[in-house]
Amino acid sequence: MPLLTIPQGTPIMLGVPARSLEEALLQSIGTMLLSVDGVVEAHLPECFAMGIMAQPAQVLVVVVNSASSSEEVVDEILLGLSALALEDLELDVLPINPEHSLLASVQATNCRLM
C-alpha cells in the first residue's frame, strides 16, 4: 500500500468506482481509520492522476488534521492497512489537509468512508 504523491498542478480525474470494494472490507478500513488520531475524514474514490498513475484506481484519500503530523498519521494508516491482510488489494493512500484544493472534488464523489 504505497503512499501516493501527486505534484501540485497535476491533472486529476475523480469519480465513483465502477466496482466498489466489498462492504465488509470498507467497514474494516473505516473502523481502522477511526482509531487513528489526526484523521478528520476518509474517502475511496476512483482516481487517475495523469502522468503519475498508469491507470485509474481506487485511492484512499485521507484528510489529516492540520495540527497533526501527516507522516506519523500516514505511517499509522499504512500499518493498520497491513494488519487487515489486504494482500489482494493494491490501495494507494493520498493524505491531504482540510484546506487542500482537491478536497471539495473528493467529497463530491460521495465515496466517504468516515
Domains of the chain are 12-108 (3.30.300)
Quick one: which of 8, 112, 1, 10 has its CA closest to 61? 112
Q: CA–CA separation, 98 vs 81, rounded Å?
A: 22
Per-residue pLDDT of the chain (114 residues; tens, 9 = 90+): 578 889 888 999 999 998 888 899 999 999 999 999 999 999 999 999 999 999 999 999 999 998 888 899 999 999 999 888 766 778 899 999 999 999 999 999 999 999
Q: CA–CA separation, 103 vs 75, rounded Å?
A: 21
Quick one: which of 31, 29, 55 has its CA closest to 44? 29
pTM for the model stands at 0.92
